[in-house]
Copies of this chain bind each other. A is one copy, B any other.
């Protein structure tokens, strides 16, 4: 089918069977040999598909017993890199934005270093309030090197920036982030609809394209009552 690798197609079929409850929580899946036969692939290819779902935390394997569906409340997994829009759609919330600022400037050294550009090089600064179902959830300050996307300001900068990066072949594929607890007041609290001071999750994130080039540096403040991080951990 259309050049998409077999293991990805199989992975998505299996994912659908899980989320649609065709394979129920704690239920054993058919053996790998049986599934490989069903999809007409080698066991190695079938395993490649299951590997991904295990890494995502949807399935778990037990040697000698089988592969099982993990019983879990539906949650957005934040150990994956995804945009605010995608994350909210996954939670069946409608994302939107309020644009506060969009201009080019020379950033402070912290930003230059995070983006791995020389000090003095200009960046775009996009400040937005992010809403879910029309309720303010986060205050986002995004920084993007001007040389990567010269005509950024002519784009629709109010919606997903990730869509713009994609147009330029700079789809973010990896990233790192640091999460802290902070208390905010003043302007940011006001934009979030909070009486200051209030605890927030403060996130700094670097998003990188496949070539490892830093595409975006983000400083984000999330309302504690409307946002939490969920992650699956492995030893």
Contacts and interface: CB of A to CB of B under 8 A. Distances in A.
A173 B57 CA distance: 12
A70 B235 contact: no
Interface size class of A (residues with CB under 8 A): 35 or more
Contact of A178 (B82, B171, B210, B228): B228
- Residue among A79, A175, A233 having the largest count of chain B Cβ atoms under 10 Å: A233
Given A70-B212, A72-B176, A181-B199, 10 more contacts: A44-B44, A60-B212, A62-B212, A75-B178, A80-B235, A174-B232, A175-B233, A178-B230, A179-B201, A205-B233
18 contacts: A57-B174, A72-B176, A79-B231, A79-B233, A80-B233, A81-B235, A173-B234, A175-B232, A175-B233, A177-B231, A179-B179, A179-B231, A180-B224, A180-B229, A181-B200, A181-B224, A182-B199, A229-B229
